[in-house]
Amino acid sequence: MNAERWRQIQKIFDDALKQELQARGRFLDRACSDDPSLRNEVEALLRSHGPASTFLDPAPQKGLTAPDVKPTDGMIETSGNSFCRAINKRLMASTVRNYEARK
């Protein structure tokens, strides 16, 4: 994926976050009308941008624990950049899944 594509995804993602939840679908219909893969990328980021309480949902099986990792370990620290936070959240979830799979 090239830098221009990431800028496009980031802009639509940031604009979508400004929309009311009920209006996001219509916004994405307009913003991504001719590019289904763009919409898929933005929707994936929006799903991962949910509240922090859903980060590890569904709850892990009994007896499994998450690795001892601070939320910012190995992640880019950004201030007020929701796009980077969403990317970091997806990376962290992937890291936890990979760690658990190796146990």
74: left (phi over 0), alpha (psi -120 to 50) or beta: left
Spell out the domain ranges in the chain: 3-102
pLDDT by 10s per residue, the chain, length 103 = 788 999 999 999 999 999 998 899 999 999 999 999 999 999 999 888 765 444 455 555 555 455 554 555 444 444 456 666 777 777 777 676 766 777 6
